[in-house]
A and B are shown apart, each in its own frame.
Chain A
Amino acid sequence: MGAVLLTGMVCVWQLQEKVDAERRTLKLDNDELAMRSPAVMKRLSLEYAPLMGAIYWTRAVQYFGGKHREHDPDLGQLWPLLDIATTLDPNLIVAYHFGATFLSDSPPRGAGEPEHAASLLERGIKANPEHWRFYQDLGNVYYFDKKDYLKASQAFEAGGKLPGTPPFMKIMAAKIAAEGESLETSFALWMELYQSTRDNDVRKNAEEHLRMVKMQMDLRALDRIADDYEKRTKERAACINELADAGLLSGQPLDPAGFPYVLGQTGRAEPNPRSPLRQEWLKGKK
């Protein structure tokens, strides 16, 4: 009898695996969210909204991670999940902080939805007005993703007025108001995030951005040297070595990934075709 039951269970297991394989071929995106209304979810959660909020936040993390693993750029349900999680628990600080990063970053890193990221953070500020980090996050979203430097500066300035905020906030507010977008400002913003975060994923993300900004600063400096060379010789340099031979460079400069920079066909500095940073740079150029 035991053997029969065991065999039966093995058959069920095998069958389930077949069903799972078949269902994977279907695009069942709507499975993530049976209920889209945060207000209804809050009512249905009775007095257990904080737990439901944590569950929805975990679902958002799993959804985001799963899409990344499958290299699926469609993150259409990320915002509704975060919307519900933060409505259920308006004090769920991590959901605003990381959720805004997931939403605002451009694909393939994030959903490319800075509008929703800003809405999420504005809601976070309303529910947790003492949490100055949200102003920093909001400033970053306006600066990097929405390119709205006035609002970015205003966000840093508003955060800088809160007690216990580091001087960095006021400095960034003034710097952005004066310069708008600049590589130095971008570098400073990412460096602050890199140094202040305790989360490995955020640090890794900031590190990647820092490498890109550092490379862009290097390319800008190399272009200036190449322009200087052209002024002197009336000819555009064909390769980096010519700049070094003319005494304008002390050696072969390397990008943050360790690959030597090259001069492209137009004589402008570019990342090495073998460098892993080149793809990202090309995307940024488009």
Chain B
Amino acid sequence: MRNVQTVAANTFREAVRDRVLYNLVFFALLMIGVAILVGQISIGIERDVIVSLGLTAISVIGIFISIFLGVALVSKEMDKRTLYALLAKPVKRWEFLLGKFVGLVMTLTVNTAAMSAGLYIALWTVNHGLQKGDAYILAAVYLILLKLALIVALALLFSCFTTPFLAILFTAGVYVAGLFAGDLRTVHGVELDPGALQLVRGISYLLPNFENFNVMGAAVHGHGIPGTIVWQATLYAILYIAIVLTGAAIVFSRRNLK
């Protein structure tokens, strides 16, 4: 595990050096702008807009970082040929992959935590205090983080066997398809034979169901988020990430790097 820790720490350091956290400045400006403007252009939704925009920004910025940096985790090391030097040392390929994954998830955690703090400051400023329902925002942020970790795992998997451009397309495609995974199970108004219907249902379970991590609506309106939803989503993310990373490790270990 020591190798994994070293790779993870270096991945985190590299992300900070690459000024990935500069997106926080954009987030801060966005929240300040919204806090000033929203009360003047709408009626009665100051809190709703700040929370929904804050969570959306956390999610969208996180998705961009997860996809683009996730794909670059392996491909950049190969392009710069640093991967060869690294793998010449007693570091197994799966340790390298896991370290990269943990490093980027650490970066995302710091980024998400900072943005959440900004969101709470904006809420505090506009509402002159916090309410009980604001606590549920933390649950929504935690689930967003789980989603981002899953996207990083997918990006890593795709970057192990294809070009960076295609890996980005595949990851983004699976993310969007995963948002509709539940709909595939309840498809109506389409005439399909039973075999095709079973196939569609099967695909719907194979795709990562990103709707499992979506509690934005409840958090925006300060509605309670049941603990069962949170732990089930956590379990789902751990299981799915484990499967994807295992797949990535298998593909990467068989890849001819010469």
Question: Which residues of A are interface residues toward B (Cβ below 8 A)?
Answer: 43, 46-51, 53-54, 57-58, 61-62, 89, 91-94, 97-98, 199, 201
A89–B48 CA distance with the chains assembled, in angstroms:
11
Asked if A89 and B179 make an inter-chain contact with CB atoms under 8 angstroms apart, the answer reads no
- The 8 A CB mask of B186-226 against A (1 = contact, 0 = none) is 00000000000000000000000011001011001101000
Cβ-defined contact, A47 with B211, below 8 A: yes
Indicate if the CB atoms of A61 and B42 lie closer than 8 Å: yes
B36 in the interface, Cβ–Cβ < 8 Å?
no
- CB within 8 A of A94: which of B44, B52, B179, B223? B44
Interface assignment of B30: CB less than 8 Å from any CB of chain A: no
Known: A47-B211, A47-B214, A50-B48. A61 touches B176 (CB 8 A): no
A89 and B44 contacting across the interface, CB-CB below 8 Å:
no
Interface of B is mostly: helix
Task: List the 3 closest A-B pairs by CB distance, nearest first.
Answer: A94-B44, A51-B52, A58-B42
Partner of B216, one of A47, A57, A62, A199: A47
- Are A47 and B42 neighbours in the complex by a CB distance under 8 Å? no
- Which of B41, B176, B180 is in CB contact (< 8 Å) with A58? B41
Given known A-B contacts A47-B216, A54-B52, A199 and B41 have beta carbons under 8 A apart? no
Please tell me which one of the listed residues B56, B210, B223 contacts residue A48 in the complex, with CB atoms under 8 A apart: B56
Q: State whether B45 touches A54 (Cβ < 8 A).
A: yes
* Interface contact B179-A61, CB-CB below 8 Å: no
Minimum CB–CB distance from B181 to chain A (whole Å) comes to: 12
Q: Verify if B75 is at the interface (C-beta below 8 Å from A).
A: no
Distance in angstroms from A35 CB to nearest chain B CB is 18
Within 8 Å of chain A (Cβ to Cβ): is B5? Answer: no
How far is the CB of B59 from the nearest CB of chain A, in Å? Answer: 7
A89-B217 contact given A47-B210, A48-B59, CB 8 Å threshold: yes
Kindly provide the distance from the CB of A20 to the nearest chain B CB, expressed in whole angstroms. 20
- B interface list, Cβ under 8 A from A: 38, 41-45, 48-49, 52-53, 55-56, 59-60, 176, 179-180, 210-211, 214, 216-217, 220-221, 223
The residue of chain A having its C-beta at the shortest distance from the C-beta of B223 within the complex is: A91
The answer for the CA separation of A285 and B192 in the assembled complex, in Å, is 61
Kindly provide the distance from the CB of A170 to the nearest chain B CB, expressed in whole angstroms. Answer: 27
Tell me if B59 and A62 are in contact (CB < 8 A).
Answer: no
C-alpha spacing A50/B44, complex, angstroms: 15
Cβ contact within 8 Å between B43 and A61 = yes
Q: How far is the CA of A93 from the CA of B42 in the complex (A)?
A: 13
Q: Name the contact of A47 in the complex, choosing from B44, B48, B179, B221 (C-beta under 8 A).
A: B179
Contact with A50, one of B52, B60, B176, B210 (Cβ below 8 angstroms): B52
B57 CB to closest chain A CB, in angstroms? Answer: 9
Shortest CB distance A19–B (Å): 24
A48 CB to nearest B CB, Å: 5
Cross-chain contact A94 with B41 (CB below 8 angstroms) = no
Bound: A47/B214 CA distance, A: 7
Q: How far is the CA of A279 from the CA of B179 in the complex (A)?
A: 55
Contacts beyond the supplied A43-B180, A46-B179, A57-B42: 7 A-B pairs with Cβ under 8 Å: A48-B52, A48-B56, A58-B41, A58-B45, A93-B221, A199-B43, A199-B44
A61 near B216 with CB under 8 A, answer: no
- Bound together, the chains give a CA A61 to CA B44 distance in angstroms of 11
Chain A residue with the shortest CB-CB distance to B179: A46
**Complex Cα–Cα for A58 and B37 (A):** 12
CB–CB A54/B42 < 8 A? yes
Residues of chain A with a CB closer than 8 A to B44's CB? 93-94, 97-98, 199
Q: Provide the residues of chain A in CB contact with B52, threshold 8 Å.
A: 48, 50-51, 53-54
CA distance A165 to B51 in the complex (A): 29
Say whether, besides A47-B214, A48-B59, A89-B217, A54 and B48 are in contact (CB < 8 Å). Answer: yes
A-B contact pairs, 13 of them (CB 8 A): A46-B179, A47-B214, A48-B56, A48-B59, A49-B216, A53-B52, A54-B52, A57-B45, A58-B49, A91-B221, A93-B221, A94-B43, A97-B44
